[in-house]
Amino acid sequence: MNASDAAASISGKFSESVSGRNEFRGETTLVLRAEVLRDVCAFARDGLGFDYLVDISSVDHFGDEPRFEVVYELYSMKDGAHLRLKIPVSEDACEAATVSDIWPTADWHEREVYDLMGIRFTGHPDLRRILMWEGYPHHPLRKDFPLEGKPTDVPGVAFTATAPLAGGPFVTVPTDGTTQAREPRARTAGEVRNPEPAP
Amino acid sequence: MSDRSPICYDSKIEGNMIITRLDAAINWMRSNSLWPMPMGLACCAIELMAAGAARYDISRFGAEVMRFSPRQSDVMIVAGTVTYKMALSVKRIWDQMPEPKWCIAMGACASSGGMYRSYAVLQGIDHLIPVDVYISGCPPRPEALLDGLMRLQKKIMGESALANQKKALFESL
């Protein structure tokens, strides 16, 4: 069964809960309502043969509602099929159901999403930070977290200070403009942080 | 034999005897048996290993005894990106090293944070511990590390007596 057939099968079985289906350059994506995620995942593993969860990632659509999106990359070892599932997560709830009992590998992926994006996974057996340390107060991959960081201190464990960006490369600003406006090669000190969007 | 060398030896005149200043003799011994504490944190550590292996052979400079115990080390080679999560551990290992001790910041990351201008990376190990030699490169080649080591040896040879260096420490004792 290839990914298109799998997506069709899921769309048929959970027709009222699949809010979007997208095929682009041979990649199949399904957008689901968050409530049915666990049912769809269990069906995908047991009924459709997606025995491998490649990755869980998350997207911060800062300024939009729902703000976050959690992305699941599924793979079938037998068929070589790759399917992507997405669920929206609102900023108020900031919660998603765990799939760590369906694919045990989800355990650490969900911890990473929790650590860096701040989305909590209900039912997770051990939801601790995985990269940053316990006591670090921020979730660094959120769009409203500055790249240079914020000063923190957990005595005896770790501290952080802001990095001197000095207008260097890789500094992005939230803007509607093109990539050049969003992420120029370098920015000189004193330049406006929030340039006008390109017409 | 150079006039400037603090250690002179002429077997025709002096036989089996060497006359020198105590400082010079101690510095000579210290600089030629620098036991490194290899603080390998990123890709620079690969070049550090290459410097220790046969082709570049850091033992030509008496620094081949990589001690993984800080209590037996003389020079800490901070090779790689120091994240904030690791930073206090590096400081703690540095504090456990006995005096006299030196530090080499190997590569761009250990010297200044390198390309990691970000929330996660300490912007140079000199924020926490005093650095004697900075080595540029990303990562530096083993020759650059050997050059840094030789510069550190030169620096040690010029040091005055420990009592002068560590006045505050001696007065507190």
**Within a domain: A156:** no
At residue A52, the pLDDT reads 93
Give the gap in angstroms from C-alpha A120 to the nearest C-alpha of chain B: 22
For residue B77, give the DSSP letter: E
Q: Tell me if residue B7 falls in helix, strand or coil.
A: coil
Helix (H) or strand (E) holding A63: none
B154-165: pLDDT as tens digits: 999 888 766 666
Give the gap in angstroms from C-alpha B120 to the nearest C-alpha of chain A: 7
The count of domains in chain A is 1
Q: Do B119 and A168 touch (CB under 8 A)?
A: no
At residue A188, the pLDDT reads 52
Residue A66 has pLDDT above 50, yes or no: yes
Residue A72 has pLDDT above 80, yes or no: yes
Q: C-alpha distances in angstroms, A64 versus A67, A141, A178, A196, B119?
A: 5, 16, 18, 19, 25
- Where would I find the H helices in chain A? 3-13, 37-46, 106-117, 179-182
Q: Do B123 and A164 touch (CB under 8 A)?
A: yes
- Determine the Cα–Cα distance for residues A98 and A105; give it in Å rounded to an integer: 11
Q: Do B120 and A140 touch (CB under 8 A)?
A: yes
Q: For residue B95, list chain A residues with Cβ-Cβ distance below 8 A.
A: none
A145-174: pLDDT as tens digits: 888 888 888 888 888 888 877 666 666 666
For residue A26, give the DSSP letter: T
Which among B84, B117, B121 is the nearest to A159, CB-wise?
B84
Mutate to test the interface with B, among A132, A142, A172 (most CBs of B within 10 A): A132
Q: For residue A131, list chain B residues with Cβ-Cβ distance below 8 A.
A: 85
pTM assigned to the model: 0.79
List the single residue in A with minimal CA-CA distance to B116: A163
* Average pLDDT along chain A: 85
Domain that holds residue A11: 3-142
Domain ranges of chain B: 35-157
* Average pLDDT along chain B: 87
Phi, psi of A170 (to 5 degrees): 70, 5
Structure tokens at A138: 């921020």
Which among B88, B119, B127 is the nearest to A148, CB-wise?
B119
Q: Do A163 and B84 touch (CB under 8 A)?
A: no
Mutate to test the interface with A, among B117, B121, B127, B128 (most CBs of A within 10 A): B117
**Within a domain: A182:** no
Report the DSSP pairing between strands A152-154 and A158-160.
antiparallel
Name the residue among A97, A98, A71 with its Cα closest to residue A86: A71
Q: Tell me if residue B156 falls in helix, strand or coil.
A: helix
**Within a domain: A22:** yes
Residues in chain A: 199
> What's the first-to-final CA gap in chain A, in angstroms?
46
A85-105: pLDDT as tens digits: 999 999 998 999 999 999 999
- Determine the Cα–Cα distance for residues A160 and A152; give it in Å rounded to an integer: 5
Report the DSSP pairing between strands A152-154 and A120-122.
unpaired
**Within a domain: A87:** yes
Q: Do A140 and B119 touch (CB under 8 A)?
A: yes
Q: For residue B127, list chain A residues with Cβ-Cβ distance below 8 A.
A: 161
- Determine the Cα–Cα distance for residues B145 and B137; give it in Å rounded to an integer: 10
Q: For residue A157, list chain B residues with Cβ-Cβ distance below 8 A.
A: 88
B119-132: pLDDT as tens digits: 899 999 999 999 99
Rg (CA), chain A: 20
Residues of A at the B interface (Cβ-Cβ below 8 Å)? 131-133, 138, 140, 145-150, 156-161, 163-166, 168, 170
- Determine the Cα–Cα distance for residues B92 and A99; give it in Å rounded to an integer: 39
Spatial contact of B87 and B128, defined as CB atoms under 8 Å apart: yes
Question: What is the CATH classification number for the domain harbouring A72?
Answer: 3.30.460.80
Q: What percent of chain A has pLDDT over 70?
A: 84
- Determine the Cα–Cα distance for residues A15 and A10; give it in Å rounded to an integer: 8
| Highest CATH level, class, for B35-157 | alpha beta
Q: For residue A164, list chain B residues with Cβ-Cβ distance below 8 A.
A: 117, 123
Confidence of residue B21 (pLDDT cuts 50, 70, 90): confident
At residue B173, the pLDDT reads 76
Q: For residue A146, list chain B residues with Cβ-Cβ distance below 8 A.
A: 119
